[in-house]
Chain A
Amino acid sequence: MSLFLRRFYFVLVGLFLSAPLIVVAGVSVNARQTLAFPPQGFSLAWYVEIFADTGWRNALFASLTLATLSAALAVAIALPLSWFLWRRIAPWANIFQLLGIAPFTLPPVITALGLLTFWATTGFYGQPWTAVISHAIFFVTLPLVTLSLGFSAIDRSLVEAAATMGAADRTIFRTVVLPLITPYLVSGYAFAFVLSLNEYIVAYMTVGFTMETLPIKIFNALRYGYTPTMASVTVLFVVLAAVIYSLIARYGDLLKLLGANSEEKP
């Protein structure tokens, strides 16, 4: 393919991916409360609104809390599991790996409905903490995948070397394994965090009637018409996701996490 064709193709895909976001970004700086593009006037009022309006602020706070806690719980489930699978020969334990990957592979409605029936049956339906557990289970796949990748990247002779120098299993974990696995741990957490922040259906089916996360709030608002704050929140979320992924790329090997070979040594 000639260079021109290639460039043209990339610009086209880039436009497709960015067009709706550009329009939303434009709409978000409208001076008046109308859905208009190109924007009429310029105002950052709708960004202030996210923090000024109690409803939006609470939703933002709820989303951030949910994402922070559920990503932490997801990592807490994934770390011992992936460590065990790496450390021990126990083929039957792979069933848990499979269980960890299933919720994310199946259509999300299914996991959401399963959790809804479960919380309803056990009588905890609507409790805020049920959303934390639900999201942790739903997104446990992400830290599980990054950590499995991280463990497989550890040269086992490093661990053996530590043992020959007098380190017991627990010490090896603390001084060798954990420092080497940290970048994967952080990426796994970040992936789960960003996706939890954006998740709608599981949150809606578990706590939708008692709590509003941002995606739920946007959807509810959307049902009753248009509010410019939706646009500003959307822009905020895109920027947040881009910043977090850029940080992963800056401090880790993003392409390796996505399946490429390791970065060539400089």
Chain B
Amino acid sequence: MPESGRAGSLPSRIPLRRGKTNGDTMSGLTLNSVRKDFGSFTAVNDVQLNVPHGTFVCMLGPSGCGKTTLLRMIAGLDLPTSGEIRLDGEDITAVPTHKRNLGMVFQSLALFPHLTVGENIAYPLRIRGAPREEQKRRVEELLAMIHLPGYADRPVAKLSGGQRQRVAIARALTRSPKLFLLDEPLSALDAKLREAMQVELRQLQQQLGITTIVVTHDQREAMTMADTVVVMNQGEIRQAASPIEIYRRPADTFVADFIGSTNLIDMDTDSTGRAIVLGQAIAGLSAPRSGKTILSVRPEDVHLTAPGSEGAITGTVTFVRDLGGTIETFIDCSGKPLIAVSTPRARPEVSVGQPVGVVLDPGVCVVLDR
């Protein structure tokens, strides 16, 4: 069954684990110690992942982090150097692409320029020799689904970017695959269209209940669509969790910094075991377990008060960006730059050059290993 929505994906229900998977997972996709080397370069390093049936997963990371290579290995377009890939319990590591039942949308979309819209969508049926009637019916069904009825006979070149996008999606779904893979599918669209397509894609996936993996470098896209976000860097999975978990409880400084924006502040422990941040003891913040740690505070969790207030750190305003709905305040706290985002009403009137008090909300701060 598809998830009812990402709001419902509480941490306790996260259907995905890092670390060892139990081998008896029969339903869904499992990656076991998957590794890919290109010469001396390791593109994907010992990846463990379990994607239960019907889940929407976004693989997120900077370019060159190995996410596309991982997707291509799932599709069979690249062979892993070692490790195994299982789909519904069956080992498909060495199964050639055309024998895996999957649908894929390529970054370039890869629509066949010599075929019409309808012929593109019917392609998987045609090569299997399906009757003409069935092909026609399925094409009409899919065109209705992507809101392009009557487009079957158009040449692909005559479509707009968004329309081509939809056709590529429809074509990947023609034979109702077990696995729906998308490689940066929306990167060619303009910002507005991209946001609309994100919602549409998510709704479509929920409607079909199909296991879906999307590779993207756009964190907004991942947050909008995914049940589970897999953050990758340098060939490794850094964290795999629901979008809100990733945002609220990043596993390390890379994730904290990559997802949304954050203030990363060095944190020390004084002799009495209190947490010290920027020279100020923060009440309510559990002391670091050991050694030096880093505190991650989201800009919206940095509150501004009058300088010298109880428990506040004093800094100087260096720049103010008033966006109307929110105000971003850039502050210098004894050499450490911080950013605070506040609504106009919850913010004292301060301007550039003036001192300001900064209060960090201990309840929502995250302590990370340095």
Contact = CB atoms under 8 A, between A and B. Distances in A.
> In the complex, A touching B, CB below 8 Å?
yes
Interface in B122-148: 123-124, 126-128
Given A165-B103, A167-B98, A160 B110 contact: yes
Contact of A165 (B96, B114, B127): B127
Given A171-B127, A179-B114, A180-B114, A164 B108 contact: no
B166 to A, nearest CB: 15
A contact face: mostly helix, strand, loop, or mixed: helix
Contacts of B76: 163
Interface in B212-235: none
Interface string B69-110: 000000111000000000000000000111111111011101
In this complex, which of A155, A160, A168 has the most chain B Cβ atoms within 10 angstroms of its Cβ? Answer: A160
A265 B157 CA distance: 9
A164 B97 contact: yes
Contact of A160 (B100, B106, B113, B175): B106
Nearest to A162: B123
Contacts, number: 69
Interface residues of B, number: 30
A176 interface: yes
Nearest to A168: B98
Contacts of B107: 157
In this complex, which of B98, B102, B104, B174 has the most chain A Cβ atoms within 10 angstroms of its Cβ? Answer: B98
Interface size class of A (residues with CB under 8 A): 10 to 19
A164 B101 CA distance: 8
Nearest to A178: B114
A157 B127 contact: no
A259 interface: no
Contacts of A167: 98, 123-124, 127
In this complex, which of B114, B172, B175 has the most chain A Cβ atoms within 10 angstroms of its Cβ? Answer: B114
B113 A163 contact: no
A38 interface: no
A176 B112 contact: yes
Interface of A: 155, 157-158, 160-168, 171, 175-176, 179-180, 265
17 contacts: A157-B107, A158-B112, A160-B77, A160-B110, A161-B110, A164-B75, A164-B77, A164-B97, A164-B103, A164-B181, A165-B98, A165-B124, A166-B128, A167-B98, A167-B127, A176-B112, A265-B157
Interface of B: 75-77, 96-104, 106-108, 110, 112-114, 123-124, 126-128, 157, 171-172, 174-175, 181
